[in-house]
Structure 1
Amino acid sequence: MGQFKVVDAGFMTTVQDLGRYGYQQYGVSVSGAMDHVAAKLANILVGNDENEGLLEATMIGPKVEFLDNAVIAITGGDLQPAINGKSLELNTSIAVNKGDFLSFKGMKTGLRSYIAFAGGIDVPVVMGSKSTFLKAQIGGYEGRTLRAGDILKTGIAPMSVSGIEIAGNFYDYGSAIVELRVVLGPQDDAFTENGVETFFNSKFSVTNNCDRMGYTLTGEKIEHKDGADIISDGISMGAIQVPSSGTPIIMMADRQTTGGYTKIANVITADLPKLAQAKPGDVVVFKKSTIEEAHMLLKNLENKIDEVKKQLYAKNKNIADEIIVNNIKSYNVRVNGKSYAVKVEEL
């Protein structure tokens, strides 16, 4: 076990994992890492379970003093991390010493960085998750963003080693245009033909109104047939609401659990990390996809992450094999005549 002290909290730094599932029926948002791929890779690099708690830093990273030796990894957007002023490589596990300082020079590409600590972050598990849900002030570290002077504990580290490296990012966080594949619905029939064409044929820009709850875009107005209000129904991450103003809003990790505006489409899960790294002013375009393609792309992404784990851990025998296997069983399930590959993890 170890500790680290927050000297400067940066713009917005919270403890997150992969989310708080099973409580949306009670109005509790899923929360979790905005860029789930970067969060998984950071934990993999230090030998943690993929769902372990870590820090999500937005725009301006924190300054941290290590009160004990540790192994860390930083992934996601490049906020230019440094140890004692010396630049660090992303996507690499790094040994740091007691008394070292981690800092960030400023945003270069992307918007969010993920900082994993070998052993994870020792905060209470609330409703099955360490994620911070800011609006309800639950989870994470006292249900809030980190502040200067906070001292956090890390858990018991697995048999991790430094020097593990992932070659390059899974995504190009520096793209001038962010292309998001979407599946139409569930209320695409509430829009005119011209409205749907505008949605797919226009360029939209991310406004300053973009946070963990949602991204408001600006651009051509999307036309409804008879109005934007519906009986409230459930909202998934990536759902694209279009209120009466015709301006699309993409719902993100801290979204409300239900909403009463028409939803024209949903960003596929495999593309959500690209959106999570988009900054104000970035251009967004939408490309039509299908549920079948979305499933295939997500499966390919998960297979790619699994392959990275196998390659990294094969080179580093000190990391326990159970981290790779993790009691996951695979099945093929048929629903309405369609076959799906399903993975089940024993808890």
Structure 2
Amino acid sequence: MSEPLVRILQVEKSFRTRSEWRWPRMFGGKKTSLASHVYAINNVSLEIERGETLCVVGETGCGKSTLARLLMGLAQPDAGVIEYQGQRIDQLNDKQRMRYRKKMQMVFQNPYASLNPRMTVYQILREAIVLHHRDWDRHQVDLFIAELLQSVGLSKDAEDRYPHEFSGGQRQRISLARALSVEPELIVADEPLAALDVSVQAQVLNLMMDKQQELGLTYLFITHDLAVVEHFATRVAVMYLGRVCEVAIRETLFKAPKHPYTQALLSSIPRLDNLTLEPIHLSGEVPTPLEKPVGCSFCGRCPLANQRCYEQIPMLELQADGSQVACHAVAEGRSWK
């Protein structure tokens, strides 16, 4: 089996926060700062194979975007290792990481904020091209920009306009063109469809799929839209409160989800092929990320939980169908009543 393009091993990330509160006047009325930590990523391990689309799904706040930023070097992990083609990249400084910038690009969630409003489309695209192709002359750059815009469905006259003159879908096409301008191997897309209308989402998604087939791209696709996952993913990683609870190829996950959280998540999708399927309603509150979980992070909402779930953190274990599940209930054969 070939070496994965990206390997993420036991990565952890927390963020230090400060909250201020004032003592009552009778005690002097002084402000006091209390420091705490938000545990965003807790011992996450994943592999991304060359040419595939790995979709990472989960509720808001589960750590999907933080994982993407760690991979791109926009944040540094507190522990663990991130490798690209077998080379460790998580400890590189900006100068050392430059050679990987051409191989790894990111498309951000909000197309209204990810493009510089003071630069024309030509200037936005030229900036990256000139940085990574120092031997190109003006004619080569201009020709490449025109080809880029055409490849994402925009006309050549778009290069003289500013981002505010485009719709959300057109801006996301420009963002994709900027990512493609350095001819990368991996594109990390952090919910690129979330700010777009449904009809525009389909256009951008189809464009990304066409570019993957044309250029052999690898995607790490962050989303909470399970309909997009079912249409686009090669493999799926389900996250809950900073941990990966299940990893499987798309067909296996949607046909036979194993983790109780994955089952509840998929049961919420309305399906015309099974109108009798009842959605699974979870009770309890989502635990706070201000406390590092001692046992399973889902045990407070899981109807299959027992004492072991509260005391021991489950690890990803390989299943007979090739999926990986981190669940004591699955390992012990517990099932829904």
Q: Taking structure 1 as the reference length, what is the TM-score of the superposition?
A: 0.25
Please identify which structure carries the higher strand content: 1
Please identify which structure carries the higher helix content: 2
Q: Taking structure 2 as the reference length, what is the TM-score of the superposition?
A: 0.25
* Greater C-alpha radius of gyration: 2
